[in-house]
Amino acid sequence: MAERMVKSNGIELWTESFGEPGNPPFLLVMGASAQGILWPEELIDLLVAGGHYVIRYDHRDTGQSTSFDFQKNPYTLADLAKDALGVLDAYGIAAAHLVGASLGGMICQLIGILHPERVLSLTVMMSTPLRTGVVETFAQAFQGQATTEALPPPAPRAIEVFMSAATNPPGNLQEAIDYQVKVARAMSGSVAPFDEQECRRTVERIFHRARNPAASANHGLVPSPTREQAEALKNLRVPTLVIHGTDDPMFPPAHGIAAAERIPGARLLMLEGMGHDLPRPLFGEIARAILAHTSAKA
């Protein structure tokens, strides 16, 4: 593995690569407010063993990448997509297999729409179809308001944990760590027992390696996709695999089903008991599915 700071879209992004640069490349795109290190190295090792070169990175406003004052320098989903393409540019990669989790899945969908020539394949994990109003719907749900969208809101356990921070925000670093562990527990599925000790070690690492831990909240201010972007999803012609969990509390299963239905030709893999996370017992199945999906397009 090799860490590297790159210039992308006018900012600095932390990146890390695994495997041989000459092999077919993967770019792993994490979710909202999430650092690239949340892509488990055990899962990455399986992709590398499958003959691929794998890159993960910290989004802007997370980890060791550039942080922003969002009020002075707001940005959009399209800017986050440009960041991802800038990572590929910095590594001299013309096109890659994109794997996106949660918000990362939406970013990857947008790249597939705007720059299909840069995409060998898409894998959209625990995400939702690119659409308008998604941010507003989540804001309503986390404020205890009824939502009007056809797709279901987050599950009660997700709403409860996020509302708890709104009414009683963490007051110091230890409380912030404790809260993030609570969030991770709420996001986990039923496929394996929640490992609090491992989670706490990961959360502590996240806080200690962040340039500005508070900046990650800026991802919640990124506006929803535009109507034009959402409508363009029906024209996406990139080979796509949708992976979703039956126990996902953030994007209930209907979101994964909708993504597979709205992306032309997409295949759906629904994993029993997976939540809004990447559980170790499913690393092998996830890796095999991704490698099978990408092998014919390498």
Q: Which of 67, 102, 216, 224 is catalytic?
A: 102
What pLDDT sits at residue 297? 47
Whether 121 is catalytic: no
Helix (H, G, I), strand (E, B) or coil at 205: helix
The pLDDT averaged over each successive group of 10 residues in the chain (298 residues) is: 91 98 97 97 98 98 97 96 97 98 98 97 97 84 78 94 87 94 97 96 96 94 93 95 98 97 97 97 98 78
Q: With the C-alpha atoms ordered 42, 46, 47, 53, is the resulting torsion angle positive or negative?
A: positive
- The DSSP annotation for 31-97 comes to -TT--GGGS-HHHHHHHHHTT-EEEEEPPTTSTTS----TTTS---HHHHHHHHHHHHHHTT-S-EE
Length, in residues, of the chain: 298
pTM, to two decimals: 0.96
Q: Which of 188, 248, 255, 293 is catalytic?
A: 248
Whether 102 is catalytic: yes
Place of tokens 């949708």: 242
Q: Let me know: does 153 contact 147? Beta carbons within 8 Å.
A: yes
pLDDT tens digits for 239-259? Answer: 999 999 999 999 999 999 999
Q: With the C-alpha atoms ordered 71, 73, 78, 80, is the resulting torsion angle positive or negative?
A: negative
177's tokens: 């760590």
Q: Count of alpha carbons within 13 Å of 222, Cβ hemisphere only?
A: 26
- Domains of the chain, with CATH numbers? 2-132+207-295 (3.40.50.1820)
What pLDDT sits at residue 136? 83
Q: Let me know: does 55 contact 84? Beta carbons within 8 Å.
A: no
Whether 195 is catalytic: no
